[in-house]
Structure 1
Amino acid sequence: MVWEQAARAFWPLATVLALVFAAFALGVVAAVPGPVLPWLAGAVLLVLVGVAIRGGMRFRRVRMADAMDRLDRTLPGRPLAALSDRAAIGGEGALWQAHLAQMQARAARAQAVRPDAGLARRDPFALRLAGLVALVMALVFGGAAQMGQGIEALAATVSRPMTGDAVPVGPSWEGWAEPPAYTRRPTIYLNALAEGQTLDLPKGSAVTFRLYGNGATVTQDIGPALGEDPQAPGFRAERSGAIEVAGRRFDVTVLPDNAPVIRAGAAPVRRADGRMVQDFEAEDDHGVAQGQAVIALDLPAVDRRFGLALDPEPRQPVELVLPLPRGDRHRIKGQLTEDLSRHPWANLPVSVSLRAVDGIEQVGEAEPMRTVLPGRRFFNPLAAALIEMRRDLLWSRENAGRSAEILRAVTWQPQGFVEQPLYLELRGAVTLLEGDRLTDKARDDLAEALWQAAIQLEDGGLSDALERMRQAQEKLSEAIRNGASPDEIQRLMDELKEATDAYTDMLAQQGQQDPAERFTQNQPGQQITGDQIQQMMDEIQRLMNEGRMAEAQELLEQFNRMMENLQVRQGQGGEGQGGSSGNQPMNRLAETLREQQRLSDEAFKDMQDQFGQGQMGQPSPNAEGLADQQRQLRQELGRQQGLLPGQGSPGGDQARRQLDEAGRAMEDAEQALREGDTGGALQRQADAIESMREGMRALGDMLAQQGQGQQGQQGQQQGQEGQQPGGGDRAGAQGQAYDQRPALDPLGRQRDGNGNVIAGGDPLAEGVDPARRARDLLDEIRRRSGQPERPEAERDYLGRLLDRF
């Protein structure tokens, strides 16, 4: 009731006050002409006094009796008044007591009365709502600056001079200096600066003022204006100078913003999966905003023969966004990883240009680097031919006739080397090529079909089988981590066994691993049998049955890594026993391969030492020794080539060609070591290792074919001997259990001690590439160092690792 009385009496006063506040906050008072403002202010003041007096006269004090009467009127029979009555005649008998009991029951049901000031009746024009809306608008859109202007304007109209002469009133102003957002510097409030303090601003900073009153001006010589409002002038700081406002001077020093600098690392390299990896470094005084790599065809360097003899069709350069870390970008060391194996320029000469852009669109460019665009390599002859035809078609559609002739040649008498479905697809491609001129879509569709056909020839079904096995392993690991039911875990375990059996069967049929991984193990002592795979699966099953889920999951992860890195051989004997004549050249090549990897590790360590001492590009004290060792290895490889079996056979000739390539790579590595180019030497050593692996694979395939022929002549007895457990050509360390195999360090090298790792005797021949493992580790370190949610101590440690390596 008190609120009702106050609302009825003082709602006009509240409405007028809300309108006055809104007029100040929204700048209405400051916009009123000076001569009118005093009269308007006087009228508003009279209205305020009038509504205040009216409210005071209408407000009534609320008594308890009024409250009781207000509540009693809401109840039937007015029980509160009845309970205070006294019987006039007849006394307070039973009838009177029954009456009182009835009134008490009604009074007990009393509820609080809802307030009702009746403002709708008293304010038929809803003036109170207009004042409320004005108040809300002032709170949302108004500000202290507008109120200050209004107060200044009002004070100027009512002020009187102390003497007869007019006293000038200095204008009021505010100023701000806002550096560009990319500098991450705070805004500077100019009024808070001390007199004579120099204002240091980054280039491109916005300096803005707000002038209150008339007659104030801003003069400056630091840069162009940002607006045309005389009451809110603004400027962009482009050069050093001075700003004067209302008699105050600010000396401005514009800090230069240098263009970013970007440098490319070594030439792009190709990972085993065909992806291009390009290292780069960039720096900027305020941080790099974005980066880009532009790859263009280096046409003068292209070998213009065969399908490349024609002029190429126009094709836009490839533009790739450089990955930049979050947080500090003043100095960046990054790595661009992109799969361009399907691009028409894959394995062709290109120029790679790196660009970095800062926050004000300044561009820094690195010197274009000429290199060969890394792409996937195909070793199957037919697959390589299809990829070359695909490249020729994407180079120019004028090559359609030539490609049709080649396709007709490679599909002539396909029995034995081209499956029927693939043969039909290739013959359909011949028809398409010999038809009308190819449209862009038809050309791209045909290029995609040729790519898929080459992948099918190169990989077979191994990729799909390996993916199914990986998915089964991931689902089982997830179930173990989440504590799934035993029935669910058993079902997933059975699914993994089926996928593993399918993958191992396919490996055994093809006699090689997934070519995309390019890992080969042709030495009998470095293969693993189907019995040993089953042994490991049984061990995983046993650990899960005993509830040792953590150990089962660890062993499961080791099993998945083993299945990706080892060639599988079913326990059926296979090619050549340990004492066969073919194993001696293979063993000698394996020893040379291990020595080459050891030498590569020493060269890599030497390069790390040079980097730490800041002597990159200069011959190290160990360079001559390493080069001599490389020369000795090359000579030893030449002697072994003369002792290889199978001269004149396709497999033997292919092995010799690969070893010739390895010898040339070793010679180049030796020369690079003598010149102090350790990075180039490592690349050529890696090429030598890959060529030696390919030669060993070709030699192993030849020996396997010879062994199959000898097995048919020797009969069943030899086959039974080959199936005895613990034979010399079993996997790993001559029939040892899987938990006795030598463990590998993170770079894939053998370390002392035993561990629960399935591996063959030699990690290099198994295809575990230490250089690739090192790159993977660096990729993971870079990824973790860019995660702001990690502890600062951990990110500092990761940063020191990146600086060191």
Structure 2
Amino acid sequence: MAAERITRGFWPVWTILFTVIAALALGLHDTLPVEAVWIGGVLALGGLGWALVRGIRDFHWPTRAEALERLDLAMPGRPIAALQDSLALGHEDKGSTAVWRAHVARMAERAVGARPPVPDLRVSRRDRFALRYAALTAFIIALLFGSLWRVAEVPALARPGKAVDVAGGPSWEGWAEPPPYTGLPSLYLNTITDETIHLPEGTRITLRLYGAAADLAVEETVSGRVPEPAPDDAGAEPAALDTVRAVEFEAVANGRLTISGEGGRAWNVTILPDEPPMVEIAGRIMKEADGRMTQPFIANDDYAVTSGRAVIELDFDAIDRRYGLSAEPEARDVLIFDLPMPISGDRKEFSEALVEDASKHPFANLPVKMTFEVTDGRNQTGRSATETLLLPGRTFFDPVAASLIELRRDLLWTRDNGRRTSQVLHALTHKPEGLLRNERAFLMIRVAMRRLDGALGQGRLSVEMRDELAEALWNIAELIEDGGLADALERMRQAQERLSEAIRRGASPDEIQQLMDELRQATDDYIRKLAENMERQGTDEPGQQQAENNQSITGDQIQQMMDEIQRLMEEGRMAEAQELLEQFQRMMENLRVTEGQNGEGQQGPGGKAMEGLRQTLRDQQGLSDEAFRRLQEQFGQQGEGQQQGQEGQQGQNQFGQQDGESGEGDDPNGMARGDGMGRDGLAERQQALREMLRRQEEGLPGLPSEDGGATQRSLDRAGRSMDGAEQALRDGNLAEALERQAEAIESLREGLRSLGEALAQNQSQQPGQQGETFGATGPDGTRDPLGRPTYGVNPEITGRGYIGEDGDVYGRARDLLDEIRRRSGEQSRPSDELDYLKRLMDRF
């Protein structure tokens, strides 16, 4: 009870004391005006006196009666009060007396178990703003980062001019604070006993001297400044000297720091120079078909790179000054792109890539000089070596679109080319039959031409009119080049969204069928226009499109996917249909024409060899699936394995590459897929695969590297394994055949890996490809469905075989199927993963 009353009565006292001590220890009185310090001191003393008087007035020591009352209230029935009571009536009645004695005995037993209650020291009702906690926090901060010795300066505030006697004499404190961008901690000089200290360049040194000016002095040669003359103390009274002095300077050079006087110290200071950052352009610039460029770079600094930029300017010496470029160009600022910096992690050394689209800039497709610059926290700049290249921009293959882009470039080069541009437009539209097949584009050219003629009739083109005409010419060129491809893509996207919304709200079957027909029509229109573009550009084979991951997608595969969506809707599996529709939408939006290097792309010998080996691998996997199904049938395990064998006979999943496709466009096996239902049929199919592999080995391109030799060795092992599998199939030994087929699959994967690495190495060594790589691929030239280079993680190349190390093929199959079922039942997994597991269940 005494603790409670002291806490509740005197909490303002220690709150004020903690606040005053914290302010003094942190040196607040050194930064505030003297008047503010005096006013604050008076208020603090007044508040402290009021708190003491109020606490003493309200405090009284608890009495025994109050203690018994408090203890009695803590027990049920108040037994202490009952023991102090007496029977008022019925003394002569023996029954009443007996009941009273029993009651008193029960209360006495209860009182024996009395325990003192825990003190309630909470004062939140009195301190609603938690001022006590704020004062305590400030006091702890002062203990950690301040100095309690500074409280001794309080008498000096009342007697200005008198030297402060701190701990019996003058004293000092010092801190060395490195620049914030270094991320290094501050140093407390009082604790450093070494003669030499190493400090980063730009470190801020702060010294505080307590005592008379004649007692302590600072001498330093690290700041590079001229030392101030010492004060003339001759004839001066001690009261005229400073008592607290602050010395601050920045360490920029090697030197010596000395604090002379009683308790002084000296150090040899070695400055760690802040080297400027460095940046290097890493590798060749990469360009996509739409004109986006990607330039990797590497940057580093001794502490951290804070920012960077790419500066691009025209290389006038390398420009072919003919036609519209023969005139003197108008002054134009250099092109500047900000370099991307890591969002998280260390910026001391990192690799990033500049990804920008400069297709519409006047410098696009012209020779330029590109320099990367990076800056550190000290505003030092590092520059890379200047690279000369053609600034990537979109390539227009249609001759009319290309001519419009050239006229746009001439206008942006100088407005004096306005009349020449008008003449070319008049010539272009004079007899457009057979040249301009897009009526809308023809009308847009005529409108732009009339606007240009009208502006030229008023004098020289204005900057605003030039920019408007340049934008119009760009839009017309895109319309001619794409042939309405963007509009077709938008119509397809709208049809997909309408069908998706109808599925979500449970529309009628007739409405869903109508929307499905609209989606088919819009998709066919988009694919047709995309094929026209690719035929004009010569980037792919007819009937195929190339997705953003460089994998071919045929019209049959797209049709199969749409048929599957309709089948799921007809069966009432709307959730699965919705998920598959979203996948279809992502696939179609990612469909993009990509440019091959030197007109080769995947049509070169290396690309054909890669595709042929991939098809052989898929066929071998399908044959292995069929053999595995036959082995299960022997043990009476049809069930799920029946479905697996039927789909495995096709050698692919529902939306993968079609059976019978190869890099050469014909049936690689030279036989029908319906063949081979017996053991002899399997053996004949295995023999056909072996013959196809032999032809592919003979058609491999000449690769002198080690990877080329590794490819040949891997294919030789695959051939021997195929021969063993064929013999085992003819003998009826399916288990032995499966083992040999697994070895053939693994050897084919190794051969694909080696061939891809050899092709990539051979391509990187070919001359004449500066700045013209178009997208990174893995060593085998493939990408995953997200467009990332596989680097050997394609399941067709690096996936494990179907047989476990213990050789228990059917046991391994049961384990895999059980695991797929278990995971598909966990609804907490992501929807994409559940969809993938369901498709695995459908197959196996």
Q: Deviation string for 1:749-784 (max 9, x for gaps)?
A: 9x9979xxxxxxxx99xxxx996351896998799x
The code of the aligned residue for 1:408 comes to H
Question: 1:180, CA displacement in angstroms?
Answer: 2.5
Question: 1:184, CA displacement in angstroms?
Answer: 2.5
CA change 1:532–1:363 in 2 (3 A) is: closer
**Partner residue in 1 for 2:101:** none
Q: Deviation string for 1:322-379 (max 9, x for gaps)?
A: 2233423333333222111111111111111121222211112123222211111111
Q: Does 2:489 match 1:466? A: yes
Q: 2:464 aligns with which of 441, 457, 463?
A: 441
**Partner residue in 2 for 1:217:** 217
8 Å contact kept, 1:524–1:731: no
Counterparts of residues 489-528 of structure 1 (less than 5 Å):
498-508=518-528, 512-513=532-533, 519-522=539-542
8 Å contact kept, 1:261–1:282: yes
8 Å contact kept, 2:173–2:207: yes
Tell me the TM-score normalized by structure 2. 0.52
Question: 1:189, CA displacement in angstroms?
Answer: 2.3
**Partner residue in 1 for 2:364:** 346
CA change 1:316–1:194 in 2 (3 A) is: same
**Partner residue in 1 for 2:381:** 363
8 Å contact kept, 1:175–1:191: yes
CA change 1:132–1:257 in 2 (3 A) is: closer
Question: 1:473, CA displacement in angstroms?
Answer: 6.7
SS in 1 for 2:305: coil
**Partner residue in 1 for 2:327:** 310
CA change 1:486–1:190 in 2 (3 A) is: farther
8 Å contact kept, 1:259–1:358: yes
Tell me the TM-score normalized by structure 1. 0.55
Q: 1:399 aligns with which of 394, 404, 417?
A: 417
Question: 1:454, CA displacement in angstroms?
Answer: 0.3
8 Å contact kept, 2:203–2:250: yes
Q: Deviation string for 1:656-690 (max 9, x for gaps)?
A: xxxxxxxxxxxxxxxxxxxxxxxxxxxxxxxxxxx
The code of the aligned residue for 1:219 comes to E
**Partner residue in 2 for 1:203:** 201
8 Å contact kept, 2:177–2:186: yes
The code of the aligned residue for 1:462 comes to L
Question: 1:260, CA displacement in angstroms?
Answer: 2.1
Q: Deviation string for 1:424-480 (max 9, x for gaps)?
A: 221122222222232222211111111010000000222332355468779999999
Distance in 1 (alpha carbons) for counterparts of 2:33 and 2:474: 78
**Partner residue in 1 for 2:732:** none
CA change 1:2–1:347 in 2 (3 A) is: same
Distance in 2 (alpha carbons) for counterparts of 1:357 and 1:304: 36
Distance in 2 (alpha carbons) for counterparts of 1:508 and 1:49: 91
The code of the aligned residue for 1:537 comes to M
**Partner residue in 2 for 1:110:** none
**Partner residue in 2 for 1:538:** 563
CA change 1:500–1:194 in 2 (3 A) is: farther
Q: Does 2:431 match 1:432? A: no
CA change 1:517–1:553 in 2 (3 A) is: farther
SS in 1 for 2:442: helix
CA change 1:267–1:138 in 2 (3 A) is: closer
**Partner residue in 2 for 1:715:** none
Q: Does 2:273 match 1:251? A: no
Q: Deviation string for 1:378-414 (max 9, x for gaps)?
A: 1111111111111111111111111111111111133
**Partner residue in 1 for 2:339:** 322
CA change 1:730–1:262 in 2 (3 A) is: closer
The code of the aligned residue for 2:305 comes to V
Distance in 2 (alpha carbons) for counterparts of 1:306 and 1:770: 29
8 Å contact kept, 1:260–1:283: yes
Distance in 2 (alpha carbons) for counterparts of 1:10 and 1:565: 77
Question: 1:148, CA displacement in angstroms?
Answer: 2.5
8 Å contact kept, 1:227–1:234: no
Q: 1:420 aligns with which of 439, 445, 469?
A: 439
Q: Does 2:318 match 1:301? A: yes
CA change 1:350–1:61 in 2 (3 A) is: same
Provide the alpha-carbon RMSD of the alignment: 6.6
| More divergent stretch after superposition (504-513 vs 424-433) | 504-513
Question: 1:566, CA displacement in angstroms?
Answer: 9.5
SS in 2 for 1:422: helix
| More divergent stretch after superposition (348-357 vs 134-143) | 134-143
SS in 1 for 2:258: strand
CA change 1:174–1:467 in 2 (3 A) is: farther
SS in 1 for 2:346: coil
Structure 2 stretches of 5 or more lacking a match? 70-80, 90-122, 160-164, 229-241, 547-551, 594-598, 612-657, 674-684, 693-710, 716-743, 747-755, 760-771, 791-844
8 Å contact kept, 2:294–2:356: yes
Question: 1:244, CA displacement in angstroms?
Answer: 1.6
| More divergent stretch after superposition (394-403 vs 166-175) | 166-175
CA change 1:156–1:447 in 2 (3 A) is: closer
Distance in 2 (alpha carbons) for counterparts of 1:433 and 1:60: 101
| More divergent stretch after superposition (48-57 vs 198-207) | 48-57
Q: Aligned pair count? A: 568
**Partner residue in 1 for 2:478:** 455
Q: Does 2:186 match 1:187? A: yes
The code of the aligned residue for 2:312 comes to I
Q: 1:774 aligns with which of 752, 777, 787?
A: 777
**Partner residue in 1 for 2:354:** 336
The code of the aligned residue for 1:148 comes to W
SS in 2 for 1:231: strand
8 Å contact kept, 2:608–2:664: no
SS in 2 for 1:772: coil
The code of the aligned residue for 1:538 comes to D
Q: Deviation string for 1:179-231 (max 9, x for gaps)?
A: 223333222222222343x2112222222223334443322211257999973
**Partner residue in 1 for 2:736:** none
8 Å contact kept, 1:479–1:489: no
Distance in 1 (alpha carbons) for counterparts of 2:172 and 2:366: 65
Question: 1:86, CA displacement in angstroms?
Answer: 12
SS in 2 for 1:242: strand
Distance in 1 (alpha carbons) for counterparts of 2:303 and 2:469: 48
CA change 1:14–1:351 in 2 (3 A) is: closer
The code of the aligned residue for 1:376 comes to R
8 Å contact kept, 2:485–2:530: no
The code of the aligned residue for 2:481 comes to E
CA change 1:524–1:154 in 2 (3 A) is: closer
8 Å contact kept, 2:397–2:536: no
CA change 1:132–1:471 in 2 (3 A) is: same
SS in 1 for 2:222: coil
**Partner residue in 1 for 2:149:** 148
SS in 1 for 2:206: strand
Q: Does 2:307 match 1:290? A: yes
8 Å contact kept, 1:275–1:340: yes
CA change 1:242–1:538 in 2 (3 A) is: same
Q: 1:386 aligns with which of 400, 404, 409?
A: 404
Distance in 1 (alpha carbons) for counterparts of 2:604 and 2:156: 94
8 Å contact kept, 1:476–1:489: no
Counterparts of residues 40-59 of structure 1 (less than 5 Å):
55=56, 59=60
Could you tell me the percent identity over the aligned residues?
36
CA change 1:18–1:595 in 2 (3 A) is: closer
The code of the aligned residue for 2:523 comes to Y
Q: Does 2:460 match 1:409? A: no
CA change 1:433–1:24 in 2 (3 A) is: closer
**Partner residue in 2 for 1:173:** 172
